[in-house]
Amino acid sequence: MSTHFRVTYATLSADNEELHAAYESGLRLARSWLGATVPAYIDGQPRDGGKLFTVTSPGDLSLTLCQVHSSTADDVEDAVRAAARAARRWARTPWPERVAVLRAAADLISERSNELAALMSLEVGKNRLEALGDVEEAADLIRYYCQQVTDHDGFTAPMGTLNPREKNTSVLRPYGVWAVISPFNFPMALAAGPAGAALVAGNTVILKPSPQGSFTAAKLYECFRDAGLPAGVFQFLPGGDEAGAALVAHPGVNGLTFTGSYAVGMSIYRQFAGPYPKPLVCEMGGKNPAIVSGRADLDMAAAGVARSAFGLSGQKCSACSRAYVQRDVLADFTAKLAERAGALAVGDPTSRDAYLGPVIDAAAVARFERAVAHARAHGEVVAGGTVLRGVGALPDGYYLAPTVVTGLPADDWIFRDELFVPLVAVAPYDTLDEALRLANDTDLGLTAGFFSADPAEVAEFLEEIEAGVVYVNRPAGATTGAWPGVQPFGGWKGSGGAGKAGGGLYYVQQYLREQSRTVVS
């Protein structure tokens, strides 16, 4: 068993010699896996008939991580059939037995956290502490959902009666086959969380990860398998858009969870229903604002915005990408934020000191370059603004400097488009009403932050902001850092279609449907 340290997003400053020694031990093990060929897994068996694609490290393009077999149309068909065959048996497995298997899987994830985090750093560019947090969040999401099922006695509840001879019960029952399409940026947590909820609820699962994230997702599959999850209950289908589209279109998929872009999520939302509605849980990104009052602690606000804007190089759906600052303190705040951005270390994400690793691919670099060029032409770049590929001792990867821009009009496209790069735009406001109007002027509504020492302003913000996850005076992250059972994570408006947040009190129930039972004796 590997040495394990609990790291959450609110405690990412956790920094001790044992933690780093354990991570480095995990890195050595993860590097020993490189060069592997990753198959699909259907009914517990590897499938290697699909075309191979190569996964390289965005932090070092010379480093090949693995070859992955894309799932074929036959693989998708066979996976749905295998999941359907297993569904009845798994649904009839008593919920305490399902909980026991899922808790064992969570424990394996925690035990393997160092090597899983190190692989994640190599595959998607997360620094070591954020990667450890992602892995531990995956385990904690599963544990939290298991506890929800336990606390609610498997979601079976007695109801009232109309005559003494009848017994009435409300039972939540699984749908059957549930597909999970997961993103690159949280390749453990946003695969394990939905999969764990679906599984503990009694559904069988088909996981289709982002291609960049396939290796980490395959290791997650191994954790479920090694914990004793029966063959057929969990299928692993790596591949690109074709595999995902086939799952969305398949009539045998009874429910689906998607995490990704607004455009793709809305396309799935419109397509997924068959001859009758089917449950769909979508998390579709954010364009997340922070509001900084003239009554704020500006050092706290700068720390919170920097952490949210530049963690994972801005590639979080919860990243802070726009800040509205009361005009009287705009210059001071912007200077403090620019200073923090300039002090952040950019480097190989597996190195101890790196805060920003690479962005995921060349397309992200191109979005960054377009935004920076626009900001230089129409406003001011006050920190960063440079592509760091080939600079100094950095490996040949997709490295970008953390960037702060200002001087753009509040209706500029940089304040509207989700960029997924380490760039935050700052604009002034005069009244809190104006700031709230600007913050809410978006189709998205995932997270938002506020900094003020005035209780009346805080109350106004909480009442009026249109976002599913909000933080006030939080230096650990102005708009980022949710944790299972602590801050439920889900979006409003175009950021989420379910209205029930991951890691929260009502999430598991989305994977179940109610049956009312009346038995007369």
- Closest by CA to 309, choosing from 259, 345, 356, 346, is 356
pLDDT digits (tens, 9 = 90+) for 216-228: 999 999 999 999 9
Residue 14's pLDDT band, with cuts at 50, 70 and 90, is low
Dihedral pair phi/psi, residue 382, rounded to 5°? -100, -10
Residue 165 has pLDDT above 60, yes or no: yes
Mean pLDDT of all residues in 199-227: 98
Mean pLDDT of all residues in 110-115: 97
**How much is the pLDDT for 6?**
62
Mean pLDDT of all residues in 302-323: 98
pLDDT digits (tens, 9 = 90+) for 323-337: 999 999 999 999 999
pLDDT digits (tens, 9 = 90+) for 340-349: 999 999 999 9
pTM of the model: 0.96
* Residue among 66, 146, 282, 317 flagged as catalytic: 317
Element (H, E) at 513: strand 512-520
* Domains delineated in the chain: 22-284+498-520 (3.40.605.10), 288-483 (3.40.309.10)
Using an 8 Å Cβ cutoff, are 178 and 256 in contact?
A: yes
What residues have CB less than 8 Å from 139, skipping those under 6 apart?
Answer: 106, 107, 109, 110, 113, 192
Residue 241 has pLDDT above 90, yes or no: yes
For a pLDDT cut of 70, what percent of the chain falls above it?
A: 97
Q: How far apart are CA 429 and CA 288, in angstroms?
A: 16
Q: Which residues of 86-110 are buried (b: 16+ CB within 10 A; e: fewer)?
A: bbeebbeeebeebbebbbbbbbbbb
Residue 497 has pLDDT above 90, yes or no: no
Residue 7's pLDDT band, with cuts at 50, 70 and 90, is low
Mean pLDDT of all residues in 134-152: 98
What angle in degrees, to the nearest 10, is found between the helix axes of 95-111 and 189-200?
A: 160
Q: Please provide the DSSP assignment of 284-311 as one string.
A: ----EEEEE-TTS-HHHHHHHHHHHHHG
Residue 15's pLDDT band, with cuts at 50, 70 and 90, is low
How many Å separate Cα 117 from the centre of its chain? 15
Mean pLDDT of all residues in 405-411: 96
- Closest by CA to 499, choosing from 445, 428, 455, 421, is 445
* 111 noted as active-site residue: no
Q: Say how many residues make up the chain.
A: 521
Q: How far apart are CA 509 and CA 154, in angstroms?
A: 10
Using an 8 Å Cβ cutoff, are 135 and 108 in contact?
A: no
* 418 noted as active-site residue: no
* Residue among 130, 137, 283, 457 flagged as catalytic: 283
**How much is the pLDDT for 9?**
62
